[in-house]
Amino acid sequence: MGQQKAIKPTTTPPSGDAITFLGTAGARFTVTTQILASGGLWLNLRGTEILIDPGPGCIVQATKRKLRVDKLSAIILSHRHLDHSADVNIMVEAMTQGGFKRHGWLFAPADALETEPVIFSYLKDYLEGVEVLEEGKSYSIGNISFATPVRHIHPVETYGIRFTTAEHTFSYIADTSYFDGLCQSYGGELLIINVVLLEPKPPIDHLAVPDAKHIITELKPKVAILTHFGMNVWRARPWEIAQGLSEETGVKVIAARDGMRFELSQLDNSQG
């Protein structure tokens, strides 16, 4: 009885750029109940791995999905709110192998780092460095560059991010109220939009579904991904909202799912 020949995998492992959604919960109640996970976004851009907005449970979501935290090159916080920063300390601990390997960068707005820092000072020492995010600035991590074009309208200092890689551009529109100038600050083939509300609810500084529709119509990305759902959006079934927005805007709109991995190569097959 000969040994069975090793079976070659029929699918080649994904080699390109990808975004993994370690959670899709936004604002208080979907996060505090963990109806949805709240671990942020994990980018793998040509081997450079970057974590954005590690909310509560990020370490659980990342390890469960076999993502190697010690491979991260940087952690970026769009702002200091708990659902975006709660796990930053444990993620720095894991990224630096408990501080034994000084490694990686933290990017965050000044008010996440100054009066009441979201990161413990002893963990900050484990990092290669900390960079302060400011309006209109650009930054780089390895061969990836990103910009924080505009300060958002949100109770704490908040920025969205526009990424540029060798092959792709995409934007992450973090928490904010809608304002003129939001659209002109972002762009790219892919938009990731934090949509907490079904309808605008002033004075709550979050985007609602009609805001997302307006942004998508204005910017016409190849694909838009909705995430960071508040309870009412969740109850209204984000995938049905996305379907409706696809029909209304003519843009492919996807509702993120916990654990969803989006390969940026999908953009190359989408109609612009």
Task: Give me the residue whose beta carbon is nearest to Zn ion.
Answer: 81
Nearer to Zn ion among residue 175 and residue 189 (C-beta): 175
Q: List binders of Zn ion among 123-182 (CB under 5 A).
A: 175
3-state SS class at 122: helix
Nearer CB in complex with Zn ion: 141/173: 173
Interstrand relation of 261-263 and 18-23 (parallel, antiparallel or unpaired): antiparallel
Q: How far is the CB of 260 from Zn ion (least distance, A)?
A: 21
Closest approach, Cβ 13 to Zn ion, in A, equals 35
Residue number with CB closer to Zn ion (223 or 233): 233
Closer residue to Zn ion (CB): 124 or 154: 154
Residues 240 and 250: their CA atoms lie apart, in Å, by: 15
DSSP 8-class letter at 155: S
Segment 76 to 95, residues that bind Zn ion, using CB under 5 A:
81
User: What SS3 class is residue 132?
Assistant: strand
Residues within window 214-233 making contact with Zn ion, judged by CB under 5 A = none
Q: Which residue's CB is nearer to Zn ion, number 206 or number 213?
A: 206
Distance CA 48, CA 174 (A): 21
Q: How far is the CB of 175 from Zn ion (least distance, A)?
A: 4
DSSP alpha helix (H) spans, 199-237: 209-219, 231-235
Total residues contacting Zn ion by CB under 5 A comes to 2
> Are 195 and 209 spatial neighbours (Cβ–Cβ below 8 Å)?
yes
> Token digits for 233?
């959006």
Q: Which residues bind Zn ion (CB under 5 A)?
A: 81, 175
